[in-house]
Chains A and B, each alone.
Chain A
Amino acid sequence: MAKRKIMLIDDDPDLVRALRLRLRANNFDIVTASDGYSAIAMAQKEHPDLIILDLGLPVGDGFVVLERLQKNNALSGIPVIVLSARDPQDNEARALRTGAAAFFQKPADNEELMNVIRVSLPEGQPAASRLS
């Protein structure tokens, strides 16, 4: 079965490297973006099955990315998990209202994160293969 593709949007290259390793070990394909602007272009090009999104990003923060994803018909169906160091008390409700499927504060429990990734993924074939 074709692998599911996860897009990681985070500006901390060290963290991205570690998460990539972990997600690959869990049998996912990974694409990454490190700022708000390239994230949208990358999502349009790669058609990921799920997005993990940091909130503090250069060139349009995570909320801007979330809004633009929701407004784009081709991308609005992709589940987004927010993974941020920001205080959930101030940000969780806003992220969920803006369309995120879940909110995790960094550092997140790996097992819980993997669990939420699994239940968030839409059933069926990977998004990219459905399009091609």
Chain B
Amino acid sequence: MSDHTTRVLLIEDNPGDADLVRLRMVENQPEVRVECVPRLADALDSLNRETPSLVLLDLNLPDSRGADTFRRIRERAPDVPIVVLSGQDDEALALKAVHLGVQDYLVKGEYSSKHLERAMRYAMGRQSLVRALDMARKQQLEFKNQFLSHVSHELRTPLTCIHQYVTLLLDGLAGPLAPDQADHLKTVLKSVNQLHAMIRDLLEATRAESGKLRVDLRCIALSPLIEQAVAMMRPAAQAKQIGLEIGMDCRIPLVFADPDRIMEVLINLLDNAIKFTPAEGAITVRTYLQEAEPEVAYVSVSDTGRGISPEAKRLIFDRLYQDPDAVDNNRSGLGLGLYICRELIKRHQGNLTVASELSQGSTFTFSVQAYSLAKLLGPVITHQNALRPSFVLVQVNLKPMASPPLGNWPETRELCLDTLRRCVYLDKDLVLPPAGSPGAAETFFVVASTDLESAGIMTTRIYEQLAKMCDLATKASVSITTTAITPAPTPDQTLDDQVKAVADSVNEQILKILGKANR
């Protein structure tokens, strides 16, 4: 086949229509080779084998109808131009397909061979333009990312120098300072810190745009995080005489989230709330569940501030958006905070939204996925359609020798987790994903389908295996405790409910342990 041959995949179930298209095509375009298939399944097969130059598509086929036909073809061959062959009575559908990304459409019975030839030529031309544009856009994005990442690195060097000398002076290491001088230097330091935050945001926004924002999802409790964030922001709220309250729903389950990132979002939302709430106002952080989706946890930050206009509400999560009425506009940041927050929450399969009434206040709400222990536990704690007889929660504490831990602590933690996984029976025990904040000390949990006595054997095995781990003893101390899990299943419960009861007891126990660790 010569390079100039145009290979057309004609997807048409009516043999008469198919023949007509073929005829029209070869009249004007001898270099065209046509493969005709009558069903979507055949078309998908053909696309798997070879990529055609163009697809001529009847949207209504025996095994697929309407826009869905187009979507399935587009999914399989995203770069191939498509021209729809539409019946006289479904031109509206063809138009809809054009909006969805079809290059053109022809109405059956109303086109000549010339029309067909032109439609095909234009479709291929347009598609190659779209491809080129897309490529250019990607290159541009990549260049912008590299540029911003380079700039933020270069900006850090002089900033570090300023930071170092200012703190040197402030700490009195270059001689005593007059009170006024110290005050002025504190102002410099505040600006240095703001500049630092802006550089950090710039890099984060760049990462968000190129999908490189990193989140490390773990099984965590939300309430200690919220308490910590509120405690951190309380002085700023008190300085403005703003009340800061927490309203926690006690049914909130453990969630699957990155504690550092959730903290970042909470601090950002609280900082904004304090900024836009007048003295004597109030800010409330709430957690809640919605009946319809028990596997999603919601966190909201409400204020009694001046609210956000409908226009601003539409733009507020956009990059570089700044409130034009903000008093300290010139010092508040780059307008990237909420954009980064929303991207971070998206990486948690959640969403960040705002509800607001002018002069009434605003509520920012984000959602994160609940950590469904029952789903994970089901396969290991049941056997032949019945709950296994007993369960033990094994808690492995890893405490680094130095605080902060030295060397590659994250790797040490990973190796320990791997070792644990080798110490359990895969069909009846489960090593849970890392829980709590990835701070210095780490706690791993194993749910074992066994009784306390046999759990002792597992504990010994874990101690032995961890001891074999390369120089772990120089890096961390290990302690293991076991707790029997005793849910009270009632005989009339379904198996799913029994599994859930065990999961709830495990959750409760873990929350208790993590809660203690956080205090």
Contact = CB atoms under 8 A, between A and B. Distances in A.
Interface of A: 12, 14-15, 18-19, 21-22, 25, 79, 85-87, 89, 93, 96-97, 101-102, 105-108, 110, 112, 115-116, 119-120
Interface stretch (B32-40, B310-318, B398-406, B451-459): B398-406
Contact of B402 (A22, A85, A119): A119
B203 A106 contact: no
A102 B411 contact: no
B167 A110 contact: yes
Nearest to B404: A116
Contacts of B163: 107
Given A21-B174, A85-B153, A15 B164 contact: yes
A12 B157 contact: yes
Chain B binding site: helix, strand, loop or mixed by DSSP?
Answer: helix
A107 B402 CA distance: 23
Interface in B397-422: 402-404, 406-408, 410-411
A102 B404 contact: yes
B160 A107 contact: yes
B160 A89 contact: no
A96 B212 CA distance: 21
A107 B156 contact: yes
17 contacts: A14-B165, A15-B160, A18-B168, A21-B174, A25-B173, A85-B153, A87-B153, A96-B408, A96-B410, A101-B407, A102-B406, A106-B156, A106-B157, A107-B156, A107-B163, A112-B404, A116-B404
B115 interface: no
A96 B413 CA distance: 14
Contacts of A79: 406
Given A107-B196, A119-B403, 18 more contacts: A15-B160, A18-B161, A21-B173, A22-B167, A22-B168, A25-B171, A25-B173, A85-B160, A89-B207, A96-B410, A97-B408, A106-B156, A106-B157, A107-B159, A107-B164, A107-B192, A119-B404, A119-B406
Contacts of A25: 171, 173
Nearest to A24: B173
A103 B243 CA distance: 39
B168 A15 contact: no
Contacts of B149: 87
A19 B160 CA distance: 11
Interface string B206-248: 0100001010000000000000000000000000000000000
B53 to A, nearest CB: 41
B439 to A, nearest CB: 14
Contacts of B160: 15, 85, 106-108
A56 to B, nearest CB: 8
A115 to B, nearest CB: 7
B407 A115 contact: no
A116 B159 CA distance: 22
Nearest to A79: B406
Interface in B470-503: none
Contacts of A18: 161, 164-165, 168
Contacts of B408: 93, 96-97
A108 B164 CA distance: 9
B161 A101 contact: no
A69 to B, nearest CB: 14
Contacts of A22: 164, 167-168, 171, 173
A22 B160 CA distance: 14
B211 to A, nearest CB: 13
Nearest to B149: A87
Nearest to A98: B408
B467 to A, nearest CB: 23
B407 A89 contact: no
Interface string B156-196: 11011101110110010110000000000000000010001
A15 B167 CA distance: 12
Contacts of A86: 153
A70 to B, nearest CB: 12
Contact of B161 (A15, A108, A116): A15
A57 to B, nearest CB: 13
A97 B406 contact: no
A74 B426 CA distance: 46
Contacts of B156: 85, 105-107
A14 to B, nearest CB: 5
A110 B408 CA distance: 21
A120 B163 CA distance: 24
Contacts of B404: 102, 112, 115-116, 119
Nearest to B207: A89
B402 A14 contact: no
A115 B440 CA distance: 14
A97 B171 CA distance: 34
Nearest to B204: A89
Interface in B348-372: none
Contacts of B406: 79, 101-102, 116, 119-120
A85 B174 contact: no
A110 B168 CA distance: 10
The 8 closest A-B pairs by CB, nearest first: A85-B156, A96-B408, A107-B163, A18-B164, A106-B160, A107-B160, A119-B402, A101-B406
